[in-house]
Structure 1
């Protein structure tokens, strides 16, 4: 998921996406513990996607506080 695509979404959509990705991450970790995970790199990518979304939300929050400069 690219930041450019994420920036087009609203705050509410981004928050829903974070919840969805956190559930996915939990399932991936469970599969990894059981030993049935085919692509371990998917865990890293999911964590990065979550961080990317949270960064965009924080940027928007700071921009709103500074008056939208």
Structure 2
């Protein structure tokens, strides 16, 4: 997910996307533990998306 998409989304959408991304990351991590993923870079991209969304939500709470 790109930063521009995160900035345009509402807070409710971001919370929903955060939950979805965390679930997807958890599933990928479990699948990678059982057998190696074809593209392990997916783990990094999901982890960074989670961080971007969480940072934006925190920024909005402070304002």
Q: Tell me the TM-score normalised to structure 2 length.
A: 0.93
Return the structure number with greater helix share. 2
Q: Map 1:39-58; keep pairs closer than 5 Å.
A: 39-58=39-58
Query: What is the DSSP-based 3-state SS (H/G/I as helix, E as strand, rest coil) of the residue aligned with 2:39?
Result: coil
Q: Hey, what does 2:13 align to over in structure 1?
A: 13
- Residues 14-63 of structure 1 show CA distances to partners (whole Å, capped at 9, x for unaligned) of 00001000110111011101114111110011000000001111111111
The structure with the larger Rg is 1
Please give the alpha-carbon distance, in whole angstroms, between the structure 2 residues aligned to 1:23 and 1:16.
11
Spell out structure 1 runs of 4+ moving beyond 4 A.
none
Higher normalized contact order (CA 8 Å, seq sep 6+, divided by chain length): 2
The CA RMSD over aligned residues, in Å, is: 0.9
User: How many residues end up aligned between the 2 structures?
Assistant: 63
Structure 2 residue ranges without an equivalent (≥5) = none
